[in-house]
């Protein structure tokens, strides 16, 4: 019963319609553009809008479940999902550490005050300076290959400093997700090849500066099948017991990565608006809660006091953000109709990259009464620039606010300046308070790196 209560709380939403207007917490999203303009921000649309309360509750769903386990645990936010420093500071305040995939991510995490010894540098192609930065700060590192181990040994010897490492192994489990976000099979670029494993283990035993403290695996993202987590835990735990028996005295950690999906269709099923009778709610995905995933893993580990690290990204931040766009116009064609907005694949690339679904709706009532099926597209000069296809919507008026839901993860962080478009403003809502946590780019921001550098 407790698990179900956590599930219901986890799937609550702080984006709700009130009298036909979408609100983020207590703020009508249709007011944000004018509020930004009063602050002197003229490039006020599109804009990313985040709910602080949603982020806090997402983290609590994990932390509450982890605290009930009788073992050491650590919740590491996967920073690549969204690196906005303000959002990361919220994660830190809620007791999270961070998993990183680049040296600059590591530098930012240290600047923000995360404890270096709890940070984990991941990645299949680390540069020497990134490894050195991690070793100097006593961070944990994932070993992803034989050459990565050799790099780490060389850095540790040069610094005369120990390196705390985990081995990233692939359990070869199908996570049943898009092939681009499947990372735990034998055919991916991630993880140690089976034929290299014995050599890696032998080299670690011979090198006193390399402390093997744990095992790591991450098999994919947007996972909705809880059995995938169980299978992964079984494979890694059995390998862990084998290495413990072989005498790896520092080994005490299993990192099972992240990958839990979010319900990208929840707003289609739970909206309070009366015009969603067309939505087939039978196809709304059922997502395990963090508590259910953690319980499955804990059952596999049993009474062993092995430490558990989880490193979710999407499920901590994905449902906390929306992109608020402005409708530029509507085009009716012979076989296809289009709503053209000022948001684009440069802000939300997931539909173009993965054919991913994001729920889309108007943020306010339309001045028109008719409805139709539309593709929602942006102004980027690519036929693949779309935010959603075949959506049954009220025909919007020009200037109408339109919203793309659940863009907190892998949207802003994957944004680009393609077509010399600016990265948009980002705001954080906390109750009735609005804070700008990223100003939009300017032309100077885009051009400054191209300034010629005088060379001898």
pLDDT digits (tens, 9 = 90+) for 374-428: 999 999 999 999 999 999 999 999 999 999 999 999 999 999 999 999 999 999 9
- Distance, in Å, from the CA atom of 151 to the CA atom of 139, rounded to the nearest integer, reads 16
* 58 and 46 Cβ atoms separated by less than 8 Å: no
Q: What tokens were used for 175?
A: 């996570």
* 155 and 209 Cβ atoms separated by less than 8 Å: no
Residue 162's contacts (CB-CB under 8 Å, 6 or more residues apart) are 135, 156, 209, 210, 211
Considering the domain boundaries, does residue 353 fall inside one?
A: no
Active site residues: 381
SS3 187: coil
What's the confidence (pLDDT) of residue 98?
98
Considering the domain boundaries, does residue 202 fall inside one?
A: yes
* 353 and 411 Cβ atoms separated by less than 8 Å: no
Residue 189 is part of a domain; what is its CATH number? 3.20.20.10
| Ordered per-residue pLDDT tens for the chain, 456 residues | 233 333 344 456 899 999 999 999 999 999 999 999 999 999 999 999 999 999 999 999 999 999 999 999 999 999 999 999 999 999 999 999 999 999 999 999 999 999 999 999 999 999 999 999 999 999 999 999 999 999 999 999 999 999 999 999 887 665 444 444 434 456 667 788 878 899 999 999 999 999 999 999 887 767 888 888 888 899 899 999 999 999 898 999 999 998 888 888 888 764 434 444 344 444 445 888 999 999 999 999 999 999 999 999 999 999 999 999 999 999 998 889 999 999 999 999 999 998 999 999 999 999 998 999 999 999 999 999 999 999 999 999 999 999 999 999 999 999 999 999 999 999 999 999 999 999 999 999 999 999 776 655
SS3 425: strand
Considering the domain boundaries, does residue 32 fall inside one?
A: no
What's the confidence (pLDDT) of residue 259?
85
Number of domains in the chain: 1
User: Could you tell me the strand order of the sheet in which 15-18 lies?
Assistant: 15-18, 21-24, 27-28
With vertex at residue 287, the alpha carbon angle to CA 284 and CA 80, rounded to the nearest 5 degrees, is 110
Considering the domain boundaries, does residue 265 fall inside one?
A: yes
- Distance, in Å, from the CA atom of 217 to the CA atom of 191, rounded to the nearest integer, reads 8
What's the confidence (pLDDT) of residue 180?
40
pLDDT digits (tens, 9 = 90+) for 277-320: 344 444 445 888 999 999 999 999 999 999 999 999 999 999 99
**Residue that is written with structure tokens 């009130």 in the block:** 18
Q: How many CB atoms lie within 10 A of CB 335?
A: 4
* Phi-psi domain of 331 (left: phi exceeds 0; alpha: psi -120 through 50; beta: other): beta
* 121 and 142 Cβ atoms separated by less than 8 Å: yes
Considering the domain boundaries, does residue 440 fall inside one?
A: no
What is the helix, strand, coil percentage profile of the chain, to 5? 35, 25, 40
Considering the domain boundaries, does residue 219 fall inside one?
A: yes
By C-alpha distance, which of 5, 30, 62 is closest to 402?
A: 30
Q: What tokens were used for 311?
A: 């490193």
Angle, helices 103-111 vs 85-93, to 10°: value is: 60
What's the confidence (pLDDT) of residue 455?
58
Could you give the count of Cα atoms lying within 13 Å of 6 in the half-sphere of its Cβ? 21
Q: What tokens were used for 55?
A: 């982020």
* Element at 61 (helix H, strand E): helix 52-67
What's the confidence (pLDDT) of residue 278?
42
Name the H helices within 68-163. Answer: 85-93, 103-111, 128-136, 146-159
Angle, helices 146-159 vs 194-206, to 10°: value is: 20
Which phi and psi angles does 98 have, rounded to 5°? -140, 140
**Residue that is written with structure tokens 């181990």 in the block:** 149
pLDDT digits (tens, 9 = 90+) for 181-205: 434 456 667 788 878 899 999 999 9
Q: How many CB atoms lie within 10 A of CB 117?
A: 11
**Residue that is written with structure tokens 């986890």 in the block:** 10
Which phi and psi angles does 190 have, rounded to 5°? -95, 150
- Distance, in Å, from the CA atom of 229 to the CA atom of 243, rounded to the nearest integer, reads 21
Q: What tokens were used for 51?
A: 């709910």
- Distance, in Å, from the CA atom of 32 to the CA atom of 114, rounded to the nearest integer, reads 32
Considering the domain boundaries, does residue 282 fall inside one?
A: yes
Long-range contacts of 87-90 (CB under 8 A, 24+ apart): 87/50, 87/55, 87/317, 87/428, 87/437, 88/112, 90/52, 90/55, 90/56
**Domain membership of residue 258 as a residue range:** 52-316
By C-alpha distance, which of 411, 124, 364 is closest to 264?
A: 411
Considering the domain boundaries, does residue 358 fall inside one?
A: no
């Amino acid at each position: 019963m407790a698990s179900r209560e956590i599930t219901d709380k986890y799937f609550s939403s702080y984006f709700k319609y009130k009298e036909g207007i979408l609100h983020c917490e207590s703020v009508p999203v249709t007011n944000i553009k004018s509020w930004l303009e009063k602050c002197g921000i003229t490039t006020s649309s599109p804009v990313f809008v985040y709910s602080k309360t949603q982020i806090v509750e997402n983290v609590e769903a994990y932390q509450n479940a982890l605290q009930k386990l009788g073992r050491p645990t650590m919740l590491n936010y996967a920073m690549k999902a969204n690196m906005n420093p303000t959002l990361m500071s919220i994660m830190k305040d809620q007791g999270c550490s961070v998993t990183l995939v680049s040296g600059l991510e590591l530098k930012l995490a240290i600047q923000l005050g995360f404890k270096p010894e709890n940070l984990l540098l991941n990645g299949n192609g680390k540069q020497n300076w990134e490894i050195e930065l991690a070793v100097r700060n006593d961070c944990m590192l994932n070993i992803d290959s034989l050459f990565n181990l050799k790099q780490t040994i060389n850095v540790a010897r040069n610094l005369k400093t120990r390196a705390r490492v985990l081995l990233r192994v692939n359990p070869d489990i199908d996570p049943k997700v898009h092939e681009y976000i499947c990372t735990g099979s034998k055919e991916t670029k991630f993880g140690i090849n089976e034929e290299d494993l014995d050599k890696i283990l032998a080299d670690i035993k011979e090198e006193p500066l390399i402390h093997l403290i744990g095992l790591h695996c991450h098999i994919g993202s947007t996972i909705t099948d809880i059995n995938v987590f169980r299978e992964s835990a079984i494979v890694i735990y059995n390998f862990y017991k084998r290495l413990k028996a072989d005498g790896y005295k520092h080994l005490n950690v299993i990192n099972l990565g992240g990958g839990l999906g979010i319900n990208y269709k929840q707003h289609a099923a739970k909206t309070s608006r009366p015009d969603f009778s067309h939505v087939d709610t039978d196809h709304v995905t059922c997502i395990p809660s963090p508590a259910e995933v953690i319980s499955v893993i804990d059952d596999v580990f049993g009474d062993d006091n092995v430490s558990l690290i989880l490193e979710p990204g999407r499920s901590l931040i994905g449902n906390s953000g929306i992109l608020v766009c402005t409708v530029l116009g509507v085009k009716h064609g012979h076989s296809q109709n289009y709503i053209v907005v000022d948001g684009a694949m440069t802000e939300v690339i997931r539909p173009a990259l993965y054919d991913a679904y994001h729920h889309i709706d108007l943020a306010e009532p339309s001045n028109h009464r008719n409805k139709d099926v539309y593709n929602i597209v942006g102004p980027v000069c690519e036929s693949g620039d779309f935010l959603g296809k075949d959506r049954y919507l009220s025909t919007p008026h020009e200037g109408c606010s339109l919203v793309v839901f659940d863009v907190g993860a892998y949207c802003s962080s994957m944004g680009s300046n393609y077509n010399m478009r600016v990265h948009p403003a980002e705001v954080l809502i906390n109750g009735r308070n609005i804070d700008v946590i990223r100003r939009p780019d300017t032309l100077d921001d885009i051009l400054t790196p191209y300034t010629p550098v005088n060379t001898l």
